[in-house]
Amino acid sequence: MSTPASRTPAGRTPASRHHKRPRGEGQWALGYREPLNKNEESKKNDDGLNVRQRIIDIYAKRGFDSIDPADLRGRMRWYGLYTQRKPGIDGGKTAVLEPEELDDRYFMMRVRIDGGQLSLAQLRTIADISNEYARGTADVTDRQNIQLHWVEIESVPDIWQRLEAVGLTTTEACGDTPRVIMGCPLAGIDVDEVIDATPALRELQERVVGNPAYSNLPRKFKTALSGCPAHCTVHEINDVAFVGVLNERGEPGYDLWVGGGLSTNPMLGKRVGVFVRPDQVGDVHEGVVGIFRDYGYRRLRHRARLKFLVSDWGTEKFREVLETEYLKEPLPDGPAPEQPRSNRRDHVGVFPQKDGNFYVGFAPRVGRLDGDALHLIADIAERHGSDRVRTTVEQKLVILDIAPDQVDSVVAELEANDLRVKPSTFRRQTMACTGIEFCKLAIVETKNAASDLIDELERRLPEFAEPLTINVNGCPNSCARIQVADIGLKGQLVVDENGDQVEGYQIHLGGSLGANSGFGRKVRGLKTTAKALPDYVERVVRNYDTQKKEGESFADWVQRADEADLK
């Protein structure tokens, strides 16, 4: 017997009354306020900013064993502190062991350096802290920060006191917060800059850093702000970026980009299409951070970055929400930025400033320095009349304000101390993340491998001078930006010719930012052991050098090359 159209079988709910609420993504603005994972629950239980006083009053006095696990592996990041990897744990155990098995009793401490701007007093303070509390460690990151290692919890209050006495901080250097604000190291002095972003950068610092209104975001939030014609802040891969432009009346301002980011689901930022006046930057930035806080996905950590929201919404809806709900006013349409003035988006070398002085940019090895080297850099700068040093997003440094008659002396001193002002392509454009030496997420070693690779390539290919980025990462998370490198190396365990599992890399080829931004080409099965890495890179670089057309970049060549020439 058939069921009448107006009825349903016993026990079944008519479709018209069976409306499930769509599964929420944890978006606060849509009413999903209950925590949907342990990280969100921890943040709801206590703001990460509150851990500072516990560190000072309890943990630094009672020692490592007194630290609450929720603070140890969560809220302490709000002040730039991560436990570092326990020595001796190989990469095969990274994803197997529990956090407490990977944790050492020492910390990585990240000092945030917004805009990369350092006075000599600040640089020397970091150098002293490095030598006294961090076993001399000091790595310049690809987000302009300086990271210290081997820091004990008992030392943290004194370190903070010394940093803050010279205007530095670790506040929100990590955590689900607005991270360091990247800026051009030449802001205010570059003869060709579109706009000096320093005042806007300072305003953003004052408005968002340590502000409880923005201390519980779905995940980390990365900002870039620059008027640099070289586009040195890699605006395409930040959550939000302000890029210097001139509007149709010739007035300087910013083009707004949102939704960039790499890691395991890389996405390039998208132009919103608006012109932001200098006096609007603070409001617009807070609006974008607010959208992320209120509409960002909080259910799954791997989808909790702004790029996923922007991908789902599109820039038209993003602009509408920004203007109507957060700014309460429309923004005018604006022009796209000019293309970068160079295919090397850094500031290595000697160049003139607006005031007639010069800046000198130089390349340490993959950002690895130490306390003594920081003191040396400060001494060289001071001897030649400078009080300002800058870090860059390429793990490099720049000394500003060198008088014309002092340039040769500065260059000579830096070069004599292996701080290359005139580096090879391989020294200039090889980058490496922290790697297994200290990072609990890493699978392979990176810093020494990258440094050794530089030496080998300089020996084997001494005449090669084309731009070529080689980015070495210890895990899939792309802290070293592997997907947008000419040669991106993602650390993993591989099998060697003897059948043994050893450290190695999956290879991405031909990634780029700028005129033809895109992610690297993956060739099926293209991997190398760490031992065979120099042979592989030499082989593919020689193929490019032989086959390239006039003016053809490595990335462009990769797109047309035969797979056999990429292996």
- Rounded distance, CA 115 to CA 181, Å? 6
Say which DSSP state 448 is in.
H
pLDDT at 4 over 90: no
Report yes or no: 521 and 562 within 8 Å, Cβ to Cβ: no
The Cβ of residue 69 has, within 10 Å, a number of other Cβ atoms equal to 11
Q: Are 67 and 92 in contact (CB under 8 A)?
A: no
The Cα 419–Cα 361 span in angstroms is 9
Q: pLDDT of 351-365, one tens digit each? A: 999 999 999 999 999
pLDDT digits (tens, 9 = 90+) for 309-343: 999 999 999 999 999 999 999 999 999 999 887 77
Read off the pLDDT of each residue in 269-277 and give the average, rounded to a whole number. 98
Is 379 domain-assigned? no
d(CA 113, CA 179): 10
Q: Does 254 map to a domain?
A: no
pLDDT tens, residue by residue, 507-556? 999 999 987 899 988 888 899 999 999 999 999 999 999 999 999 999 99
pLDDT digits (tens, 9 = 90+) for 30-77: 999 999 999 999 999 999 999 999 999 999 999 999 999 999 999 999
Distance between CA atoms of residues 512 and 537, nearest Å: 18
Selection from 8, 43, 3 nearest residue 26 by Cα: 43
| Residues near 428 by beta carbon (within 8 Å), at least 6 away in sequence | 344, 346, 348, 363, 420
| Residue 314 domain flag | no
Closest CA to 242 of 207, 198, 208: 198
Whether 10 has a pLDDT exceeding 60, the answer reads no
Nearest-angstrom CA–CA distance, 124 and 127:
5
pLDDT tens sequence across 142-184: 999 999 999 999 999 999 999 999 999 999 999 999 999 999 9
- Which CATH number belongs to the domain containing residue 438 in this structure? 3.30.413.10
What is the rounded distance in angstroms from the CA atom of residue 69 to the CA atom of residue 53? 16
> What residue type is 277 in one-letter code?
R
Q: What is the DSSP letter of 326?
A: I
Q: How many CB atoms lie within 10 A of CB 61?
A: 12
User: Which amino acid type is present at position 181?
Assistant: I
Burial of 277 by CB count in 10 Å (0-12 exposed, 13-18 middle, 19+ buried)?
middle
Which residue segment(s) compose the domain that 498 sits in?
428-566
* Residue whose structure tokens are 């050893």: 502
Residue 12 has pLDDT above 90, yes or no: no
Residue 191 forms part of a structural domain: no
For the chain, give the percent of residues with pLDDT over 90.
Answer: 92
d(CA 404, CA 230): 23
Q: Are the C-beta atoms of 338 and 321 separated by less than 8 Å? A: no
Tell me whether residue 547 is in a domain.
yes
Q: Residue 22: what pLDDT? A: 56
Report the number of distinct structural domains present in the chain.
1
Q: With 60 as the cut, is the pLDDT of residue 347 above it?
A: yes
- The per-residue pLDDT for 16 is 40
The pLDDT of residue 134 is above 90? yes
Whether residue 539 lies inside any domain: the answer is: yes
Instruction: Say if 534 falls within a structural domain.
Output: yes
- Asked whether residue 16 is domain-assigned, the answer is no
Cβ pair 277, 12 in contact under 8 A: no
Note the pLDDT of residue 291: 98
Can you give the pLDDT at residue 515? Answer: 78
Which of these, 267, 265, 344, 352, lies nearest to 303 by C-alpha position? 265
Reported for 494-501, long-range contacts at CB under 8 A and 24+ positions apart, including other chains, are 494/527, 494/528, 494/529, 496/529, 496/531, 501/92
